[in-house]
Amino acid sequence: MSLVDLIAQADERGLAASGLACLDRCVPLLGGDDEVLRPLWSSLAVGGADGDAWGERLAKARAELDSADPVPGPAPGSGSGAETEAEAAVSDEDRAAALARRMLATAPDDPCASALRAWADACSAAALQIHRLLDVAADGDGPLVAAELRRQVAVLELLAGRGAGGLRPALEVSTEGRRVLRAVVSRRARGRS
């Protein structure tokens, strides 16, 4: 089944886990601790995307990751299609971090199905774009993007097939992806110095 179909058929827990997993894999771009989103995962295990617990834990994660200004300045590539000097000076890492901050900033405080579906869809696209920005492939989708797509599908399939029992394996898939992205970010930083 395609990623689009899996998102369309996911329940609230699956949608919340899908968006959260995308965000979790991108935590290295936000400079956050690997465990910063763990309370949100726990809230999904206890009661699904329960509004009160989810909202409180989301606020705490936002505060810890300091996402008050999710996207400084105009979004990359917005406008007439011509890249401005300011946009040209922004690195791929900066663009990727801005997308990750937007994922966190747009997470629904009140996790109803429609809000979670929109967020999961946006997080999926943003995570793929982040991996595209950081991939070494000159043209087309490289191995980093292909692996991210596989992880997104795996998370949704685990939740669709196992319900709450799929949360732990979904978190493991996400943790693996976070480690990969952390290594990529670290390697790129060493290459610049």
pLDDT one-digit tens code per residue, 101-121: 999 999 999 889 999 999 999
Structure confidence by residue, pLDDT tens digits, 60-98: 999 999 743 444 444 444 444 555 555 556 788 999 999
Amino acid letter, 30: L
Q: How many domains, in total, are found in the chain?
A: 1
Nearest C-alpha neighbor of 57 from the set 77, 43, 76: 43
pTM of the model: 0.85
Structure confidence by residue, pLDDT tens digits, 13-52: 999 999 999 999 999 999 888 999 999 999 898 876 666 7
* Cβ neighbours of 34 (radius 10 Å): 13
Tokens of 126: 């943003």
pLDDT range class, residue 166, cuts 50, 70, 90: very high
Nearest C-alpha neighbor of 74 from the set 86, 82, 62: 86
Give the domain range for residue 122. Answer: 3-192
